[in-house]
Structure 1
Amino acid sequence: MLSYQHGYHAGNLADVHKHTLLAWALSYLTRKDKPLSYIETHAGRGLYDLTAPEALKTGEAAAGITRVEPLLPPDHPYRVALAVVRAQHGATAYGGSPLIAEALLRDCDGIHLAELHPREHAALADISGGRLYKTDGLALAQSLLPPTPRRGLMLIDPSYEVKTEYAALAKLLPQLHAKWNVGVIMLWYPILVDNRHRAMVRSLTQAIPGALCHELRFAPARPGHGMHGSGVITVNPPWGMQDEARRLTQLFSDL
């Protein structure tokens, strides 16, 4: 589970889907003058160079963020966060979810980032101002809930290298929701050719009525590549998030 390297995939269409919804949700939550907690279970290194050999080898960023960003409104929270990252780290920098969150959150908000991979954790420690944990993110999530402040958002973004993760998450999310019934919990998952996500999604939408499930389909990044879509399940979706999801669906349909 420590072999996955996101540098090859940073800024791909799945990232755009996930990060657009994340940025929108954080922007919405920070409109209220009350502090919040942000928790991320699989943070990664947080910062990527889209001209690095890994990114150029796959071309996923060129088909993803490079293509989609100009189609978003200039004041969209995702574009605002990316501009902050580039101002801090250079024109070819791409912020992962930790830096997107840090760009949009305030000094009064708490940030908790878990990353188990040694090199990814070390890279994240060099750039992040959040509280870092070199530990299993899902175990950390269970131990932190409910957080202080109690308002907030958790992003769960595993690599899904092990097939059993789907069944494990189907059991875990309702437990997290029971511990933190006011928290916004976002779970990303890939849509693969074998549709192995379906049982997990069906279980979660039955166990947590009102959860928002948003899926996008797109062409594989290259011939033989197994991922042809991206999904996000949001527990306690903020008001208006369904409209944002519909806008994304339309945007992707026009690509």
Structure 2
Amino acid sequence: MLSYQHAYHAGNLADVQKHALLCSMLDYMTRKDKPLTYIETHAGRGLYRLDSEAAAKTGEAAQGIGRLQDLFPTDHPYRRSLSEIRARYGEMAYPGSPLLAAMALRDGDQMHLAELHPQEVATLREVMAPWGAHVRQEDGLAMALAVTPPTPRRGLMLVDPSYEVKEDYAAVPKALAAVHRKWNVGVLALWYPILVGDQHLPMLRQLETSFPDALRHELRFPPAREGHRMVGSGMFVVNAPWGTVEEMERLTSIFAPLR
């Protein structure tokens, strides 16, 4: 299924959680003078416009980054990257996670991105060309298995399917377990939606059986509009870098007034 396009949801509350944690983890990992690999399984187009027709139609960005960005300290790596990207692309630009990761990576680091949608992957290639990212138009979980263990071996993988296909809930735990068997030192960061009906719970039970020491962070918030089924957002992190617990606690505090 190729119907999902993140332009309608870029900068929403789930993105704020996912991107703040991603920037925080990469900020810590890039302090060490050792190269790393960044892998993303569902990369989207990499760069979005918050004044686009798609963003205006849902209003999710206004409720997300538009409402919360000033609650992050000015020196927070997420807020710093937002400022740098807007200086480059304009005040209404919003970066997807591939572009946020690129802002954190250094010479010698590697980036592997997968995206299936033909229009999205074409834009992704254009956006990410200055950073030399390896972009593949293929299933992200298959790519994850193909490129691991990566070179450099140290690194982080972000897995964030749309979950429009119900089979994703069953496929993700199996894929992460298989990747971990090949790449047990990698940081594996999984995003998942919390929907009315809690479809994510069986997936989490499988993940927690495979990864009993992983970190789990969930935020609850009101639906973006009447009838919208997403009422929260979660991150499940295997081999979490130092400082991740503190960043999760910060996000819980930032989101608390929304409940």
Does 2:243 correspond to 1:233? no
Q: How far, CA to CA, are the matches of 1:202 and 1:238 in structure 2?
A: 23
The one-letter amino acid of 2:148's match is L
Partner of 2:10: 10
Provide Cα deviations, 1:105-152, integer angstroms capped at 9, x if missing partner: 111110111111000000111110211111111101001110000000
Which amino acid in structure 2 is aligned with residue 228 of structure 1?
Answer: V
Matched with 2:197 is 194
Q: Which of 144, 147, 157 pairs up with 1:144?
A: 147
CA deviation map 1:34-82 (0-9, x unaligned): 0000000100001001001110111100000011110000010101111
**Cα deviation digits, residues 75-101 of structure 1 (max 9, x gap):** 101011111211211111000001100
Q: Whole-Å Cα distance in 2 between the matches of residues 108 and 92 of structure 1?
A: 31
Tell me if 1:182 matches 2:185. Answer: yes
Question: Identity over the aligned pairs, expressed in percent?
Answer: 61
Q: Distance in 1 between matches of 2:80 and 2:35?
A: 20
**Inter-partner Cα distance in structure 1 for 2:172 and 2:48:** 27
Instruction: Give the TM-score of the pair, scaled to structure 2.
Output: 0.97
Deviating above 3 A after TM superposition, structure 1's stretches of 4 or more consecutive aligned residues are none
Letter in 1 for 2:27: S
Does residue 174 of structure 2 align to residue 132 of structure 1? no
In 1, the alpha carbon distance for the partners of 2:248 and 2:142 equals: 29
Q: How many residues align?
A: 255
TM-score by length of 1: 0.98
Corresponding position of 2:72: 72
Deviation at 1:16, TM superposition (A): 0.4
- Higher alpha-carbon deviation: 214-223 or 130-139: 130-139
Letter of the 2:43 partner, please give it.
A
Q: Secondary structure at the match of 2:164?
A: coil
- Partner Cα separation in structure 1 for residue 199 and residue 90 of structure 2: 38
Task: Identify the residue that residue 97 of structure 1 maps to in structure 2.
Answer: 97
Q: Which residue of 2 aligns with 1:107?
A: 107
- What is the identity, as a one-letter code, of the residue corresponding to 1:231? G
Amino acid at match of 2:224: A
SS of match in other structure, 1:112? strand
Q: Within 2, Cα distance between the matches of 1:104 and 1:172?
A: 26
What secondary structure sits across from 1:94 in the alignment? strand
Q: How does 1:6-85 map to 2 (within 5 A)?
A: 6-85=6-85
Which residue does 1:218 correspond to in 2?
221
Could you list the runs of 5+ residues in structure 2 that have no partner in the other structure? none
Unaligned runs of 5+ in 1: none
